Structure 1
Amino acid sequence: MPEISLTGQIIERLRKVFGNKVGIYHSKFSHNEQAEIWQKVRKGEYNVVIGPRSAVFLPVPDLSLIIVDEEHDTSYKQFDPAPRYQARDTAIYRGVKTGAKVMLGTATPSLESYYNAQRGKYGLVSLMERYRGMEMPEVDIVDLRDEVRKNKMKTHFSSVLLDQLVAALDKNEQVILFQNRRGFSPFVMCDECGWIPYCTNCDVSLTYHKFSNDLRCHLCGYRKSMIKECGNCQSTALSVKGFGTEKIEDEIKLLYPKARVQRMDQDTVRTKEGHLKLISKFEQGEIDILVGTQMVTKGLDFDNVSLIGVLSADQLLNYPDFRANERAFQLMAQVSGRSGRKYRKGKVIIQAYSSDHPVLMDVKNHDMQTFYEKGRG
């Protein structure tokens, strides 16, 4: 599994079938707990083991099947600390060495995996309809240029999104708001000279976190207290720029004070049981609006979610990465799939200034084939 947060739902379902023969392994366990699980796996006490990327190295005897769920996910790549590896590719290599079958599962395959399947290197099985024959959600692209021009925006929310949000809440349905940046604001800037505080280790701008009132580097973890004056001209005219999940949570609570709002990102699920408790509350209807980063896009199954809001598609499309379009398509397609999974057709609102972007058209039309053909070209 790409995220620890995904293990909670799947382990409950597997234990109904395999009972106590299902094990779970991840980094939120203590070193002693991890060592105990490692020994149980080595002795063959588990028939099924679930875990994030590090689980690929567990000493499973008589290994016969490796399933890599959401194989496209960037979380499978270990950057720091060493060793650096791609868990999906490691699983494939381990399958070759041990003779185990390897299954890569995803609704939005990576370009390289899809290419390998098209060449015949991998087998390809396509599921062309949703569970119970449910329709794909309706996707609407909202042009933020038009909304700004007509003065219809409320902070970072378009009138279209807010109208749909109110309609969902009135019907006691749940809403997911997706913004793939945690924290309150991506950076702080001096209004006098334009100076921005950067990480002393990584040379990237520090993200402002309002709850803890500090500045953090999301690469190395460096943090410092919120500054009171400019480090260049000593002006106190400082302002926060952009928005993250923390700011969205604050603003939606102000707009809808009666709604039960929670946030799901690395800052809110740091404890071993944090993600399980949050997902459980959302499943049981104790949360009306869930604000989250890419954690909310990955394979979670909620019955009562009828509306998804993607707050800034432009941020995804213009990320400084040569795979930005691929990642943007995957994230938006995946988060769209959280809507309307059981009882009703879902709705997805994507806000963008570049509303005619080709990737957005492919997401709107649920047209994976066209996107990948363009990607190969």
Structure 2
Amino acid sequence: MTRLRTPGPTVGVVGGGQLGRMLAEAASPLGVDIVVLDPTPDCPAATIARDQLVADFDDEAAMRDLATRVDVLTFEIELANQDILERVSDETGTPVHPKPASLETIHDKLVQKRELEAAGVPVPPFRAVESAADIREAIDDYGAPVMLKARTGGYDGRGNVPVESTADAEDALESVAGPAMVEAFVEFEREISVIAVEGDGETAAFPIGENVHEDEILRETIVPAGSSDPVRKRAREVAEDVLEVMDGRGVYGIELFETPAEEILLNEIAPRPHNSGHWTIEGAHSSQFEQHVRAVLGWPLGSTDLRSPTVSVNLLGDVEEERDAALSGVDRILEEPGANLHWYGKREARPLRKLGHVTVSARDDGVATDDLLGTARELEDSVTFRSS
């Protein structure tokens, strides 16, 4: 292995949102610099990263410029253009991790499910749909409700529409722009996720998190999950199978359903650090962001062991229309032992926009995750983006 030293290399990140910001925060202690490319001037990562290129994600000249300034390229948003990344990498010799091929698989949810199913990864029944009649036929076959999904462009629950009956098929299809697919609705015991890492000849995974969604948006993650040991083992096995399908080093957020029969079904994959892994900053010996930096550089991975039971809650815009993002009630979070505030530096608050998160970690042995979650919810309720 090449001897490592600091100050170290520079990583180029396509996307400068909160994930890019937290990547830069994790890279700095390692002596690694971050340069981000994002169309929003002074994006959240800009104040932490060494530099920002202000450009659209499909600006090939800007992407080439970024590649010439860094040692490796990665991305924190699926809007990165895989074709441009591949061309730029070939022309400049700057590697991209995860590989653009993984982005190509992820971009189209139908392609994603087909490839995973072909590899033996358990997935819910699914099919492509082109008309309301196709949705009605799926309901006849799978039962109601079904989940209609935009094949491309959807994230954070956007583009996912539950269809409760055949009468709703027409309106549901109109609400999803572009090609669509439908999945059988999974009656799950809990939603869980594995934050898995593909390194240079090694893999790792953090303890399983239990996720709570509302309106298709992640609200809370509890670690460790309430799953049984066999379920945790099976979830880890499925995550390993997913890594076999994906191409390239880095962190992968793998969302899963645990059924009442303790079966594991894959929901979706994000080839990047994931919202359900934010708890790792305080709750694990190395965060998902540090792991991603290590992985894309080909450095040895760190420990993913649990430091202490931890929960995280998202701070979402509790406003009815866009306004300046000014959070009040922060003192209550700062006063709470074991609590940590993460502010993303976004300038505008919009309804349900992710603007930050709070983690609460156990400080003593024997603290129940229910108690941690109760504290985290209290802290979330104590802050607001509305005018006082």
TM over 0.5: no
Higher relative contact order (CA 8 A, sep 6+): 1
Where is the helix percentage greater, Structure 1 or Structure 2? 1
